[in-house]
Amino acid sequence: MDARTAAFELIRMVNEYRVSQAISVAAMLGIADHIKDGDRSAAELAGLTDTTVCCAHSQPSAYSMRGRTDGFH
């Protein structure tokens, strides 16, 4: 494996870890229960999960790393 391939592989593994952590946090916060009946804004999710807006807002970004660009829908 050349250096460039190794670097890309490392980046892929780091991103996979970040995605798995985002999914874990979403599960712990019960995000699925809060969006089952429709879309919610980051502010609404933050209020429902007793978190901050910046925390709730980062989850859609994490999902989009895996090609899911619709956030919490």
Query: Does residue 26 sit within a domain?
Result: yes
Structural domain span for residue 23: 3-64
Query: Does residue 69 sit within a domain?
Result: no
Residue 63 in this model has a pLDDT that exceeds 60: no
Query: Does residue 10 sit within a domain?
Result: yes
Please tell me the pTM assigned to this model. 0.60
Given the structure tokens 């807006």, which residue do they identify? Answer: 53
Query: Does residue 71 sit within a domain?
Result: no
Number of domains in the chain: 1
Predicted confidence (pLDDT) per residue in 11-51, tens digit: 999 989 989 998 999 999 999 999 999 999 888 998 999 98
Q: What torsion, rounded to 10 degrees, do the Cα atoms 5, 11, 16, 17 define?
A: 130
Q: Going by C-beta distance under 8 Å and a sequence separation of 6 or more, which residues neighbour residue 58? A: 22
